[in-house]
Amino acid sequence: MDLKITILMELINQLRLEKYPEAVVIFLAGSVIRGEGTSTSDLDLVVMYEQLPNAYRDSFLYRGWPVEVFVHDPETLKYFMGEIDRPSGVPALANMVAEGAEIPGSSGFSQHIKAMAAATLHAGPLPWTQQDIDASRYLISDLVEDIRGVLNKDELNATASVLYTAIANHYFRSNGLWSAKGKTIPRRLLKIDREFAGRFAAAFDQAFAYSHPDGIVELAKDLLDRYGGFYFEGNRMDAPSDWRKG
pLDDT in tens, 96-151: 999 999 999 999 999 999 999 999 999 999 999 999 999 999 999 999 999 998 88
What confidence score (pLDDT) does residue 36 get? 62
Q: What residues contact 15, with CB distance under 8 A and at least 6 apart?
A: 26, 62, 67
Of 213, 207, 209, 185, nearest to 197 (Cα)?
185
Q: Which of 6-10, 88-92, 121-125, 228-232 has the lowest mean pLDDT?
A: 6-10
What confidence score (pLDDT) does residue 186 get? 97
What confidence score (pLDDT) does residue 7 get? 84
Give the three-state DSSP class for 164.
helix
Give the three-state DSSP class for 68.
strand
**67 pLDDT more than 80:** yes
DSSP secondary structure letter of residue 35:
T
What confidence score (pLDDT) does residue 118 get? 98
Which pLDDT tens digit goes with each residue over 15-45? 999 999 999 999 999 877 776 655 557 899 9
- At residue 5 the predicted structure's pLDDT band, cuts being 50, 70 and 90, is confident
Which pLDDT tens digit goes with each residue over 143-201? 999 999 888 999 999 999 999 999 999 999 999 999 999 999 999 999 999 999 999 99
Give the three-state DSSP class for 34.
helix
The dihedral of CA 237, 241, 243, 246: what is its sign? positive
What confidence score (pLDDT) does residue 190 get? 96
What confidence score (pLDDT) does residue 42 get? 85
Average pLDDT value over all residues in the chain: 93
30 Rama sector, left if φ>0, alpha if ψ -120 to 50, beta otherwise:
left
**66 pLDDT more than 60:** yes
What confidence score (pLDDT) does residue 38 get? 56
Measured between alpha carbons, how far is 83 from 60 in angstroms, rounded to an integer? 27
Measured between alpha carbons, how far is 221 from 211 in angstroms, rounded to an integer? 19
Measured between alpha carbons, how far is 219 from 165 in angstroms, rounded to an integer? 13
Give the three-state DSSP class for 102.
strand
